[in-house]
Structure 1
Amino acid sequence: MSAGQPGFWDVQDRLRELSAQGDPLEKLARTVDFELFRAELTATLGPRDRSKGGRPAFDPVLKFRMLVLQALHGLSLAQTEYLVADRLSWMRFCRLGPGEAVPDANTLWDFREALIATGALERLFTRLDEAITAAGYLPMAGQIVDATLVSAPRQRNNDEEKARIRAGEKAAAIWPDKPAKARQKDTDARWTVKFSKAKPGPDGKPQIDIAIPAYGYKSHISIDRRHGVIRRARTTDAAAHDGARLREGLIDPNNTASEVWADTAYRSAQNEQYLQGIGRVSRIHRRKPAGRPMAKHFARGNATKSAVRAHVEHPFAYQKGVMGLVIRTIGLARAHAAITLANMGYNMKRWCWLDRQRATA
C-alpha cells in the first residue's frame, strides 16, 4: 500500500487501464448517444422555478444514465447511488468526476416517478428504436412474439382479502384503517401456475408435468428475427393470457417481412383472423389434438418453427440472468417502468453487439 500522496494523473491512468481492459460501459457510451434522449427528458421535467432557490438541479440525462445502470445490473436505487459514487467506470459512464455530487436514491425515485406519470418511458423506448433503425438495423425477416414471468415480492393475504383483490378493489379500500399496510400491498400483481414439462421416467414413460406457482407480472415482447432487437413490448399481471396480448400492439407494422412466429399459447381463431386482416402470415405453433397424436406433418412444421421461435428466449434469459430482472416496486405502472427500462438496457447492449459483429464481418 502506497503511503505517498495521490498523483494528479492517477485517476486518468486508472481510467486508461480500464479502457485497455475493455470497459463495457465505455463501449456502450460510444454506441448510444444519450443526448438523443435529452429533448424528451427535458420536456418531461418541465422548466424549474428558480425563484425558490436551492442548489442547481441534476442533469436529466445523468439521472437517466443511472436508471439504465440500475436496469442493466438489477440494482435498487440505493445500490445504484452507491456504485456510481464508488466505481470509476460508472462515474465515467455518467460523465462525473470523483469530486462531483451524485444524485441520491430519493432524487432518482422522484425522477422515475415523473417519467411514469407523463408516459415518457414509452417515448424514450421509441426514440431508442428509431436510433437503432437509423444505425442500419431495420426490423426485418419477420417477428417473434413471446412472454415471460417476472417475479415480484409475494403478498400474504387471507381469503377475504384475496377475493377483494381479484374483484378489482384497491389497497386503500381493503385496508382503510391501516394506511401504512395498504401502501405495502400490491393489488395489481397476480398468482399464476407455470407448467414445466417433466422428463421421462426410468421406464421411458412421460411423467406428470410439474406445476410451479409464480407471483408477479408478465413481460410481453416482440423481436425482429434478423437483429433480435425488442421492437414492441407490453406489461400485464402474471395471470393475463398470452394470446390475447397479440392483438394489443405487439405486432410491429414496420417489419419488412410478414411472418409472425409464436408458441401455441397464441394460437386461436381470433389471432389468425387478426393477422390475416393486417397482412401478416401466421407461423404460430399448432396445438396437439386432445386425446389424439399430432399429425406428422404438423409435428414437422412445429419443429421447423421452433428453430426460429427459440431466438426470442435470448432476451428473457439475458434479462433474468445477467441483468437480474425482478420487480422491487408496488403496482403495475412501476412494474411496467422497470420492465421498459430493462428492455431499453437490453436493446442498448444488443446494439453494441450488432456493431461488433458488423466491424468483424
Structure 2
Amino acid sequence: MDSFTDFALNEEYKRFQSVGDKLAEIEYLVDWKPFRPILESMYINRTASGGRPEADVIVMFKMLVLQQWHGLSDAELEKQCIDRISFRKFLGFPEYVPDSTTVWSFRKRIIDNGKEKAVWDEMQNQLDALGLKIKKGMIQDATFIHSDPGHAKADVLRGKDAKTRRSKDGTWTKKNGKSHFGYKLHTIIDKDYELIRRFETTTASLHDSQVDLSEKGEVVYRDKGYFGAIAKGFAATMQRAVRGHPLGIMDILRNERISVKRVPCERVYAVTKEIFKTRKVLVTTVERVNAKMLMTAFCFNLHQLRTLKTKGVI
C-alpha cells in the first residue's frame, strides 16, 4: 500500500474513531502474532493439506472474529470487510480482502487439521500472561444450540442425497417438557474473571453430566443436572430430591448458596446468544458447530477482557 493511500485511509478512519470504535478496543487485547505459526502450519506443502495460503492467515482469522462478533454470513462478511472502515482498520488495511470462498476454505482447513485446540490453548496462555490465571472456583454449565430439524422424522438422520437443510449430526432431546433439536455448548468459566476457560460441543441429546470440564484441584459449581456425576475437581453440585429422600433444610440452603455462585454462567450464555447470535446455527455437523463455538468463546473472552480493562483489572 502506497503512503498516500495509507494516509487517506487513516484520515478517513479518524473521523469514525471520534464517535467510538469497539473493534479498536478489542484489537489490542490479545497478541495476534503467536497465532500465525499455528495457522500457517496448515499450509506446509509436504502435508496432506498442502498448498500456500491465498491471503494472510491473521487477516483471515480476524475475519472469523468479525464474522462471529457481528453474526454475518460468509458472503456478507466479505462485503462488510470491503465496505466498512472499522473492519478494514481491524484487519490492518490489507491490500487484499479474502473473498467468501477463501474464508470458507480457511475455516474448513482449521477443522480438517484439528487446529481448534491449539488456537484455544494460545488464547488461554495469553489470559494467564495477563495475570488472569485460574484460581479454585469454576462454574460449569451447558446450553442448547438449536439447528434446523427439517421435515424428516426425528429418528432419521440426513442422508447424503437429502434435499433438506436438516442437520446431519443434530439430535432431539427434551427438557422440562420442551423439545430441542441440535447441539449443546458445554463451558466452564472461572469464578473470579468470568472468562471461558474450556468448552466442548456435543449433540443435544448428550446429558450434561456426561461432560466434565473440571481439573484436579478446582472447585466446580454445578446445577442439579450434574447430580450424581463424578468430577475431576471438587464437585460443588446442587442436590436433587429422589424417591424416598426429599431434600432437607441443609441441602436446600446449600443449593441456594451454589445457585448464587453460578449466576455468572447465565450472563455468558446471554452474551453468546444475543450478541454473538448463536441461539441457532445453520451448519450441519458437530465439527462445524464446534468451529463456530470456538470463535464464539474466543469473542466472548475478548468481550470480557474489554470489560475487565474498563474495570481496571488488567
TM over 0.5: yes
- CA drift of 1:353 comes to 1.9
Q: Indicate which of 59, 79, 88 corresponds to 1:62.
A: 59
The one-letter code matched in structure 2 to 1:87 is: R
The answer for the alignment partner of 2:117 in structure 1 is 122
The reply on whether 1:151 has 2:146 as its aligned counterpart is yes
Once the two structures are superposed, the pairs formed by residues 1-361 of structure 1 within 5 Å of their partners are 11-47=9-45, 57-96=54-93, 100-158=95-153, 162-165=154-157, 171-172=159-160, 179=161, 181=163, 184-195=165-176, 211-246=177-212, 250-253=213-216, 258-268=218-228, 270-271=229-230, 275=231, 278=232, 280-290=233-243, 293-325=246-278, 326-358=280-312
Secondary structure of the equivalent of 1:95?
coil
Structure with bigger helix share is 1
Q: Which deviations, in whole Å up to 9, do the C-alpha atoms of 1:155-211 show, x marking residues without a partner?
A: 2114xxx4453xxxx723xxxxxx3638x543310122232xxxxxxxxxxxxxxx3
Consecutive unaligned residues in structure 1, runs of 5 or more: 1-6, 173-178, 196-210
Consecutive unaligned residues in structure 2, runs of 5 or more: none
The one-letter code matched in structure 2 to 1:62 is: V
Question: Is the contact between residue 231 and residue 252 of structure 1 (CA under 8 Å) also seen in structure 2?
Answer: no
TM, length-normalised to structure 1: 0.78
Secondary structure of the equivalent of 1:215?
strand
- CA drift of 1:355 comes to 2.2
State the identity as a percent.
Answer: 27
- Cα distance in 2 for partners of 1:212, 1:30 equals 43
Q: Which deviations, in whole Å up to 9, do the C-alpha atoms of 1:203-246 show, x marking residues without a partner?
A: xxxxxxxx322211000011111111111111111111000112
Query: Aligned in 2, Cα 1:37/1:290: closer, same or farther, shift over 3 Å?
Result: same
Secondary structure of the equivalent of 1:220?
strand
- Cα distance in 2 for partners of 1:78, 1:295 equals 57
Query: Aligned in 2, Cα 1:185/1:151: closer, same or farther, shift over 3 Å?
Result: closer
Q: Which deviations, in whole Å up to 9, do the C-alpha atoms of 1:13-36 show, x marking residues without a partner?
A: 331133233311111111112112
Query: Aligned in 2, Cα 1:95/1:48: closer, same or farther, shift over 3 Å?
Result: farther
- CA drift of 1:351 comes to 1.8
- Cα distance in 2 for partners of 1:25, 1:291 equals 56
- Cα distance in 1 for partners of 2:304, 2:103 equals 25
Q: Cα RMSD (Å) of the superposition? A: 2.5
Q: Which deviations, in whole Å up to 9, do the C-alpha atoms of 1:309-338 show, x marking residues without a partner?
A: 111111111000111113221111101111
The one-letter code matched in structure 2 to 1:171 is: G
- Cα distance in 2 for partners of 1:180, 1:192 equals 22
Structure showing greater radius of gyration is 1
Secondary structure of the equivalent of 2:76?
helix
Question: Is the contact between residue 148 and residue 166 of structure 2 (CA under 8 Å) also seen in structure 1?
Answer: no
TM, length-normalised to structure 2: 0.89
Question: Is the contact between residue 222 and residue 252 of structure 1 (CA under 8 Å) also seen in structure 2?
Answer: no
- Cα distance in 2 for partners of 1:8, 1:306 equals 53
- Cα distance in 2 for partners of 1:294, 1:56 equals 59
Secondary structure of the equivalent of 1:213?
strand
- CA drift of 1:292 comes to 6.6
Q: Which deviations, in whole Å up to 9, do the C-alpha atoms of 1:259-309 show, x marking residues without a partner?
A: 1100011111x41xxx3xx4x322110002447753111111111111111
